[in-house]
Structures are given as C-alpha cells and as structure tokens.
Chains A and B, each alone.
Chain A
C-alpha cells in the first residue's frame, strides 16, 4: 500500500502534464468555435433548468413549498444558479423513479435537499446564497 503511495506524486505530475498538453492541442484545433459536444451540453442544461422551473409552476409543488415556508421566487432564483451537474442529477432521480410514483414528492424532495437546505443555511456550500435568518 505504501509502495503505491510513493508513486503517487510522479504519476500525478505526469497526468497533469498530459492534461495540459491535451487541453493545449484541442484549444488550438478549434479555438473560438462552439464545438458540437459543448453546444449539446449547454442546450441540455438549459432544457433541464426549464423543466425544473416548469415543475415549480405546479400547484401541488407550490403548496408543499409554502408549507415549508419558502417562496416560489426564492426557489426559482436558486434554480437559476444550479450547476449543470446538479440539474443532471435531478433529471436522473426523476428518470429512475418508478413509473406512477408521486412525482410531486420527488420534486419537492429534490428542492428540499438541494435547495432549501442551502437557503436555511443548513449547509454552507454556496456562498452566493443569502441566508434566511
């Protein structure tokens, strides 16, 4: 085990150099162009965000959020600041939910876990989120 650890530094250095070289080459190959992969990723993020915001419009979701004492505007603002990864996570959770299950529950759960906890300052992950206190 310690033997493996002793290799860690040189391996990390080599990997870092490889990454730098790879980045350099791909940058010169298509500098400035919006690549197809980049375009698709960006469109997907927009789509995910849009879908989440549309779900927020459901009355049942709003009722539950009101129960929790959070306004729709606050949540909408937070959704605008979600990263592509967080949005993708949500889509995945939604896709994996068994068919016919209460979708409102999943939405509210996601909003609660990823968003409302930040607003209540239960976590300190997102420095730009304003605390409710």
Chain B
C-alpha cells in the first residue's frame, strides 16, 4: 500500500510542476514551409452536416467517413455513437464506429503541426475540444478542414458553421483542454502523412483484433510498402495468416522475412511454430534453434509443442541459413 501511495505522490508532484508550467502563454504558429503559396489550405470536398443539439459526434463522424467515399449520414451513425443519457458521444465509440466501417483510425501525435501536416496531405482531422473549463467541461467534436497560416486561423466544420475560421489561440486552448485528441480516419493502406511505424501498426492491429482481418491485412501491406526497412509489418502479416490457419501462406511470408531480416529472432521463432503446423519438424527445429541463438534469453527455452501432423502434407520448404552460429 505505501508503494502505491508513494507512486501516487510522485505523479502528483510531477503533475503539479507541469500544471504550473502549463500557464505559459500560447506558443506561436508553427514555423513550417507552407504547402500552398497562399499559406491557406481548405479541403472543400469534405461534406458538411449542421449538427442538431448535442450531436456533434454523429455529424463529425459522418463528415470524416463521407470524405473517404463512404455513404452514410449522421442519422445512421447516431445509433452507433450517440448516448442519449449523456447527451453526446464518447471517443471510444467514435473510434469503434469508424472501425466498423473498415477504416484505420490513426491517433495523431499531440502536436499542432501534426494536424497541419495531415491537412497538407488532404486528410481532414477529427478533433475533440473542451469548450468550457477543466473543472466544468463541455466536450465537442469538430472536423478540421483547413488552415490559414497568414491569418493564423484553423478552419473547422463545427456545430452549425461550415468553414468556420477559429483563431489559433482559441483552438489551441480548447483542444489542449481535451488532451489534444486528434485522429485521421483513412482506408487501410492509405497512410497518414505523419504515420509512425509502430503507431500505425497498432492502429492496424486494432482492426484485426476487432474482427476486420481483411482491412487489417491491407493496412499491414501498406505499412510494409512504406517502411520496407522494417521487419514488423511482415511479422504482422504472417501472424494474420497464421491466425486464419493459412499455414503455408504464413510459412512463405516468414521465410521471405528471414531472408530479408536474418537477424530478426521473433521471425525465426514464429517460422518454427508455423513449420510445425505443416508437419515439417526438422525445418521447424532448425528455425527455433536459430531464434534461440539470436536471442537466447527470450527464445532459449522455446520448444515445439508436438501438435503437428505426423507426416508433412506437402514438400517442406527450404529454410534460409541462420546468420548466428552455435554458441
């Protein structure tokens, strides 16, 4: 118990200092090269739905989904995201509803210039704002559809106003009071401008774990193309094939992964267990042994489960040479 207390005390101390620091004045408009010569960007293909009272959630989500070519409207989305008891929508439900439409929901880094970068790439941004105070919040969803660097305004589709130019300090204050929550909603495989490998893969994996494997696969493939120097998208794709009992497909992808990233121990490990499912015990043992040599601490005790078919159903694939030699 005292440990918990101590820990809480530390957090509080940290928070206190940060809150004090938070009273500083608003930072200046980000100094970044303008994408348009005028310094003004407006995504006017984003449709606009004036919201009824308290229904910024369904309206904002409809604008986000329509802008990606999905046919839906606030009335249909209301059933998914509107909570009559709370007179509003929750972030998790907005995210879940977008995923239900097979979309990747990518949370932006909590920086204003991330929003600008996405707008430059033509992606509208869904933001949460707190229009009142920390101690008496009034939450509000809006869609950022543009900005004007010269005027220092953020252009929003919000409540009943289309293309409302909100002064930058006001936007920063209201957005900051909502923990700078901002997401882009894009079809799988179309990557956000500010996408970072692990964060994007996590967003894709959220699709997989909520029962949208096909969409997740397209997202993983997009990540594999964008970051060919990284092994993680390949492992995610192979794991997806494995989860769908497509052992041969998984094995083929993992062998390819082992060729391109011979030092990636997790890939060798998964290759071993996949080959086992194919009944290729010799090759499976060789792959596991390689994982153990590359990372003894983690994979040193990995053993086959013995759950493989007695004889391979098809000719076993050739496993690439292991880069690590026996200890």
Q: A residues engaging B (CB < 8 A)?
A: 30-37, 39-40, 43-44, 47, 93, 95-102, 105-106, 109-110, 113-114, 117, 123, 125
Stretch at the interface among B20-28, B51-59, B124-132, B183-191: B20-28
Beyond A33-B239, A100-B27, is A43–B21 a contact (Cβ under 8 Å)?
no
Contact of A32 among B7, B18, B209, B302 (CB under 8 A): B302
Chain B at the A interface: SS class = helix
For residue A47, give the distance in angstroms from its CB to the closest CB of chain B.
7
Contact of B198 among A40, A98, A113 (CB under 8 A): A40
Docked-complex contact B21 and A98, CB < 8 angstroms: yes
Instruction: Select from chain A the residue with minimum beta-carbon distance to B291.
Output: A34
Docked-complex contact A44 and B302, CB < 8 angstroms: no
Contact of A110 among B14, B243, B305 (CB under 8 A): B14
Q: Is B321 an interface residue (CB 8 A)?
A: no
Interface string of B201-235 (1 = CB under 8 A from A): 11001001100000000000000000000001001
Instruction: Select from chain B the residue with minimum beta-carbon distance to A46.
Output: B198
Beyond A98-B21, A99-B112, A113-B10, is A33–B236 a contact (Cβ under 8 Å)?
no
For residue A116, give the distance in angstroms from its CB to the closest CB of chain B.
12
Interface string of B272-287 (1 = CB under 8 A from A): 1100000000000000
Q: Is B253 an interface residue (CB 8 A)?
A: no
25 A/B residue pairs, CB under 8 Å, sorted by A: A31-B273, A31-B305, A32-B273, A32-B304, A33-B239, A34-B235, A35-B239, A36-B201, A36-B205, A36-B236, A36-B239, A37-B205, A39-B235, A40-B198, A40-B202, A43-B198, A95-B109, A96-B179, A98-B24, A98-B176, A100-B24, A109-B17, A113-B13, A114-B10, A117-B10
Docked-complex contact B21 and A105, CB < 8 angstroms: yes
Q: Is B158 an interface residue (CB 8 A)?
A: no
Docked-complex contact A36 and B305, CB < 8 angstroms: no
Which range holds the interface residue count of chain B? 35 or more
For residue B292, give the distance in angstroms from its CB to the closest CB of chain A.
12
For residue A5, give the distance in angstroms from its CB to the closest CB of chain B.
18
Instruction: Select from chain B the residue with minimum beta-carbon distance to A101.
Output: B21
Chain B positions within 8 Å of A117 at CB level: 10
For chain B, residues 1 to 48, give those with C-beta under 8 angstroms from any C-beta of chain A: 3, 6-7, 10, 13-14, 17-18, 21-22, 24, 27-28
Chain B positions within 8 Å of A98 at CB level: 21-22, 24, 27, 176
Chain A positions within 8 Å of B174 at CB level: none
Instruction: Select from chain B the residue with minimum beta-carbon distance to A38.
Output: B266
Chain B positions within 8 Å of A37 at CB level: 205, 209
Docked-complex contact A32 and B235, CB < 8 angstroms: no
For residue B109, give the distance in angstroms from its CB to the closest CB of chain A.
7
Beyond A114-B10, A125-B6, is A36–B208 a contact (Cβ under 8 Å)?
yes
Instruction: Select from chain B the residue with minimum beta-carbon distance to A100.
Output: B27
Chain A positions within 8 Å of B179 at CB level: 96
Q: Is B111 an interface residue (CB 8 A)?
A: yes
Instruction: Select from chain A the residue with minimum beta-carbon distance to B28.
Output: A100
Docked-complex contact B235 and A36, CB < 8 angstroms: yes
Chain A positions within 8 Å of B205 at CB level: 36-37, 40
